[in-house]
Chains A and B, each alone.
Chain A
């Protein structure tokens, strides 16, 4: 029967409907579904965010390569040092509603501000993760490290920057928040370079546990900051 589908379709074909357009224009109750919503939000992420994310990636790889040939560890460090800027790109994307005064409208729509921000963070974050998976695997191979160690090493600056950025966003809420976040990222990046050079840090087996614990604590800290930020947004204190 399946091969006759086209024919059957023609058999049952009705004459063209005449009032479909009018009806569709009026009847706005159809759901978009989460998947489609996220997909549409991807379209609204600034092109610059995509470009910067990729550029940063290329830069980090290039930097690692040029400084010391045959040194996987330097690669690792150059990526870690660039981490804070990926956070910044995501932060900038999240701050858009605030900067452009769209927050109030976006709080009253069916798919609210939180969903929008989450969708955008999710999308950009996914891109970053996709880029990083091969990186981690390659780096681990290069320096005879376990993949998890590499991940930990890269997660640390990421989480610290995220935590600090959220904290700053909450405390210094205002038009200039994003510049404070930039400062945080620069600070973290430079600090990590210095820290790295001074201590030649690479989590050894003993230090791994410590690094892992730090990540857990930071995740908790981030959770707390997000919660507080949400409450603060609820107050709309910024608009009075």
Chain B
């Protein structure tokens, strides 16, 4: 079955939160994303259009950065996460945490949200080839960090 509006909301919200690290703001941006999409497209929001939704969300987040320039600050602060299962994942978390923002973004969009390569490249505004290169970098970096290293 096609993705529901609620699921779309959750995904875009998660993505916006990744960028701005503020719950209230992330929801604002999420809702604004949907309104903009609606205004442009009329009535329909379909699964295939998820990529387009991400693009709108991304632009909104970037616009927000430009306005507030609080990017650095927000990146340092994180949200406190429940610590139960974290012990196992500590290594992975640390590893991911040390990646650059853009690299984390790729991880989120590709491996968590399941965007396909073509769509992902479009959202990020880079070529497929660039994307492929970056992905390789990420995987290598993670491997290194996971297997112990800087």
Where the two chains meet, the residues of A that have a C-beta atom closer than 8 Å to any C-beta of B are 1-2, 4-5, 7-15, 17-20, 23-24, 27, 29-33, 35-36, 39
Contacts and interface: CB of A to CB of B under 8 A. Distances in A.
Rank and list the top 3 A-B pairs by shortest CB-CB distance, nearest first: A14-B17, A30-B5, A31-B44
Given A11-B92, A29-B38, A31-B43, A24 B5 contact: yes
Nearest to B46: A31
Contacts of A17: 9-10, 13, 23, 26-27, 30
Contacts of B50: none
A24 B81 CA distance: 26
B117 interface: no
A14 B13 contact: yes
B45 A24 contact: no
A75 to B, nearest CB: 39
B4 interface: yes
B112 A8 contact: yes
A35 B79 CA distance: 40
Contact of B111 (A8, A23, A33, A35): A8
Interface of B: 1-2, 4-6, 8-10, 13-14, 17-18, 23-24, 26-27, 30-31, 34, 38, 43-46, 79, 81, 85, 88-89, 92-93, 96, 107-108, 111-112, 139, 142
Contacts of B9: 17, 20, 23-24
A33 B2 contact: yes
Contacts of A31: 43-46
Nearest to B16: A14
Nearest to A14: B17
Contact of B46 (A7, A24, A33): A33
Given A4-B92, A24-B9, A30-B45, A18 B14 contact: no
7 contacts: A4-B92, A18-B27, A20-B9, A23-B34, A27-B5, A27-B31, A31-B43
B34 A27 contact: yes
A1 B95 CA distance: 13
* Highest count of chain B CB atoms <10 Å: which of A1, A10, A17: A17
A36 B24 CA distance: 33
Contacts of A8: 92, 96, 107-108, 111-112
Contacts of B5: 24, 27, 30
Contacts of A27: 5, 31, 34, 38
Given A8-B107, A31-B46, A14 B79 contact: yes
Nearest to B9: A20
B114 to A, nearest CB: 9
A2 B111 contact: yes
A105 B47 CA distance: 29
Contact of B1 (A9, A23, A24, A35): A35
A10 B81 contact: yes
A36 to B, nearest CB: 6
Given A8-B107, A14-B17, A29 B112 contact: no
B9 to A, nearest CB: 6
Nearest to A5: B111
Contacts of A23: 9, 27, 31, 34
A20 to B, nearest CB: 6
Given A1-B139, A11-B92, A39-B1, 9 more contacts: A1-B107, A7-B89, A8-B92, A8-B107, A11-B93, A19-B27, A20-B6, A20-B27, A23-B31
